[in-house]
Structure formats: structure tokens, C-alpha cells
Structure 1
């Protein structure tokens, strides 16, 4: 299954969660220059093995569409997804911005567009500079020394490597026999243990954890999907971090239970995973097809946009069934 009792001493020293101190950013077990935390638990050998066993002909897209009016995090004043045409065939005839002239513009129908979005829109990864404590982030990097006028100079999305490894679904909604967990339900360690037991699944250090609440059944309703979301509580986050998760993903908007039950910390799971445990987070990951096919173990492949210094980046992760 998984749990602290199954982690070897050698591996335990590589998992930051075991040395974490309450509400203090952790120093990385991978050195003073480390910017990716538990992604260091991924290995080339494991990636080769999982790709060798992966059925690329049955790949499942775990991402959501990006579109105007989509559910997104706007409660803190962050901008919604916007898209607009920058070139249209008729407009090109009128303004001739290309300088190609009327004859060529009639022949060549030119369309182009642009987008504007918060980096935490749609299916995306949260990097280790997204949350911390008292002006510091993972590994002791500080806003005073490592935050420029435009972006962090440490732990940005450009540092996140392609994520290739064994993915494991924790179908907590399925465990409880519901399509979706109740509003504001907190997923704890017992839920995660019981999900593995029911599924007959194991979880090992370096695996990628996907937690299903069933919230994606409400997509794309901007109110029902975002507000009062079920998600991981601190107990559940600690369980996965101590089990050696390289990344933790959820099918809801913030991974964690929202609103949080901690009266002093409105992002208790984010600050713990990113600041203390060094575990990157993925959000808005669609787990519905995985659950429908009872696909609890799979090859996971995903890569985010390399936006320099960014606190998050869009992703298009894929899951592929594994051969025996």
C-alpha cells in the first residue's frame, strides 16, 4: 500500500516532509540550489520503464479546455481567461498590416489570436514559489533576495522538468460510493488509505498522486465547480507527502478543501506542500475517465509551459494504461 512504515531509511532522508517544521519553509534534502523539491524523486530508469509499458494508443487527456467564461480563480482579483482575434481575413484586407497588398491578402486568408490569463487557469501546475511563509519560499529563497519586479528568480515554471512516471488515482468519491464528495469535504489520510485498499493499488516514492473528489462532474459551472470545494485537508496532504509523492494533483480548483478549516491559514495545504514538503501541485486535472475505467495505475506524462519565474503554468497531462 503506502505509508511511513514502508519507507526505507535511505528514502526517508530524501523526503522533505519528514524534517518539516510547522509553518516554516524547509531546506531541500537535495541541496541549497534545489528549485524543484520532490520532483527529484522522479528517475530516468522509472520513466523508461513506465513508457515501455504505456499504451499510447489509449491515451487519456486529463486537461480541460480554456475558453471565455470558464471557471477560474478570480476571488483575489486575478483576471479571467480572455481570448481575442488579432487578425481576420476581412480585417487584413481592410488594414493591410502585413503590407502584402490587396491581391495577396485576398488570396491568403489570415487568422490569428491572442490570450490573456492568470497562470493558474485551467489544468496547471503550481510551482514551489507560489506559496511560502513570512516572505520565504521552498529552500529558504526569499522575496527580498530572489523576487524581481516581474517574477521570482528561483523555483519558477521554467525549472519544472517534464513529468514522466507512474500515476496513481485515489478515487475518494468512488470509495464513498458517490459521484461527487459533499461540499467542503476534507479528504484525510484515512480516506486515502482506504481508497488504495479498495482499489488494490500500491503507492511508492516518486509516484504521481491524482486525487478524485468528483468535482469535475460540475464542470464547467463557474459557481458549482469553484465554491465550497471538497479537497485534501492537512492530514491527507501529509499522508501523500510522507509517502513520497513527487507531485500531487486534484480534480478541483485548489486541490485542497475550500474554505479551509484552519482559522489562521486560508491556504493550509498549499503552504504545507509547497513551503514545507516541497511537493508541486496540479489542479483542475480531469479524473473522470480514469475512474469510469477503473484505471487506478497508469503512465503519467505532463509538461508545463516554461514561463520564466512563474508561480504556475498551464499543462496538458496524459494518462496511458500500463501493460503487465
Structure 2
């Protein structure tokens, strides 16, 4: 599986910010990006992908005792449960009671979550030219928060099974997925990614980390310094040409370690997708069960649903995405 791949040059990646841009495509004040590609017609067509009625969750449990299942070193989950909330608040003891709780989640980490368009910036600019400086620690994102995705992502989903393409349970860490791999997966599976689709990339790598826990360095370095399977920067043109509405992966999309020593280009998939294309991303999904279901049914498209919180100011949202075959 290992092969020598020339890294994209810094100049090539920087050029993608212009050549792949969706700025102004849906108006100069647009804040929805590629969500605009999920039209009523696209949603109706997606219903034709439901052939068996089988629903598959594409997320892992959010577990306070094990808050960071893919060892990214970022996620945090805290839960405080109040077993007798009425007694605690009102200082009385009625025969009826209620359970209350407080929950704190840091979504940008090991759990499945949506990356909003304000998550990344380039040279101080976010998608469609909005300024990073307009956001603050107190108010969050002023123009590009996840509440603009209030309709949710309800569309046709397509799983490209890269692990299945190579005949392995999980693709080796550090492998850079190329456009030719995406095209080969399409051909093998007899499916074509089309405008408005949710594209899901299965490598099995994150699932292997969860199950075996030994694929990462003992010091648990984190996503930038660690070794992760992901997309080569040359895949960005494929994503733009296919006009997908959202992309999900069982990792963090960008191959790690970075292909270029210049740290400015450590995350080209994230940066160009979110900033230039306005393409929403879903990190750290669990796609292994879906890959098995698709293989068994020999069906690689399905109805895809992801419903983020209407959280004003937030750059992210936890998700439980569901595929219906």
C-alpha cells in the first residue's frame, strides 16, 4: 500500500484559494456555503437511496469516562448529574422528582462533530471574505456560526471505502489518499459522487485506534504531530469538481504528519475546504459499521442526515449522523 507521493507545493495549495473558491457564488453575504447545494430537488432525489430501511449511526458514544476515543488530545467531556434536582433547587421533597445535569463538551476533538465555516481562516479571512477579527471569545463567530446550518444536512450520502479498496481492515497510518484512489473506489463500488452529496471517506484507521489503542505513540501526541491517514492536497480539486455539500471522515481529513515543512500548509484540506470552498466538514466519524452494511447490501449510496445544534456563535456542533440504506 505504501507509495512515494510528491507533496503538493506551497504555491499550488495557495493557488487553490483562488481557483477552487466559492466566494460570491451564492451572493456576497452568503453564510451557508456548500449547504446551498442541498436543494429541494436534491433532497427528493436522495430518498431514492433508501432501499432497505436500515439505519446506521455514524458516531461513537460521547463518554465522559473515555472522552477522546481517537486520541486527538483535544476533546473534553464533563457531565454533572443531579439525581434529585427538585429537592436541590426548591429545598422540598415531593413524591415526584427529576434528574438534572450539566454538560460541558469541547466538540473539536475526538468525538464526531461538525466543523463550521468559521473554524478556520487564512490570512485573517474566513469563508466569503468575512473577517476573522469580527469574532470574539465572548460572542464567538459573528457571521459564520453553525446556526446557519439549521436546515441540517439531509441529502444523498456516498461512502468511498478506501480500506475496502485495498482489501484491509484499516489503511496504514500516514497514507495520503490520492484522487486516483477516490476514482478507483467509485469504480469498484459502481457509484458516482454527484453535486449536493455528502461524501464519506472510510479508512478504518480511527476505528483501529479505538479498538487497539496502540497505533499512536505512547506520549499521545495529538493530530498535528501524530500520524494519521488522510487526503492528499491534490484531492481538493476532486471535491470542488464534484460539488459536494459536506465531507465526513473517520479521522481529521488531512494526512499527518504534514506533507510540507511549512506549518502554514499543515492542514490544506481543512483550510481550503472551509475558507475557500465553504465546504462543511465532519471529523472523527465511525464509518466501520456503515462500510460493513454497504458491502453486505452492495449499496454505497444512502439517505444521509446530520442535524447540528442551532448554536449562535459556535464554530462547531456535536453530531450523531445517521445513514439510512
- Normalization by structure 1: what TM-score? 0.82
SS in 2 for 1:39: helix
Distance 1:249 1:319, change over 3 A: same
Residue 246 of structure 2 is matched in structure 1 by: 247
Q: Which segments of 5 or more consecutive residues in structure 1 lack a partner in the other structure?
A: 1-16
Deviation at 1:50, TM superposition (A): 2.1
Gaps of 5+ in 2: 1-12, 217-222
Contact 1:165 1:299 in 2 (8 A): yes
Please point out which of 65, 68, 71 is paired with 1:71: 68
Structure 1 moving runs of 4+ over 3 Å:
19-26, 72-76, 145-149, 220-227
Residue 5 of structure 2 aligns with which residue? none
Number of aligned residues = 294
The answer to whether the Cα contact below 8 Å between 2:121 and 2:132 also exists between their aligned partners in 1 is: no
Maintained 8 Å contact 1:83/1:116: yes
Secondary structure, aligned partner of 2:106: coil
- C-alpha RMSD of matched pairs (Å): 2.7
Residues in 2 aligned to 1:297 and 1:150: alpha-carbon distance in whole angstroms: 39
Given that 2:75 and 2:108 are in contact with CA atoms closer than 8 Å, whether structure 1 keeps it comes out as no
* TM-superposed deviation, 1:22: 5.5
CA contact (8 A) 1:196 1:202 kept: yes
Shift in Å, 1:150: 2.6
1:208 aligns with 2:198: yes
Q: Which residue of 1 aligns with 2:7?
A: none
Conserved? CA contact 2:178–2:231, under 8 Å: yes
- Tell which deviates more after alignment, 38-47 or 53-62: 53-62
Match of 2:209 among 205, 212, 218: 218
Among candidates 72, 84, 88, match of residue 83 of structure 2: 88
Deviations along 1:159-186, whole A, 9 cap, x unmatched? Answer: 0131111111110111011111111111
SS in 2 for 1:81: strand
3-state SS of 1:166 partner: strand
Matched, 1:112 2:100: yes
Cα distance change, pair 144–172 in 1 and its aligned pair in 2 (3 A): same
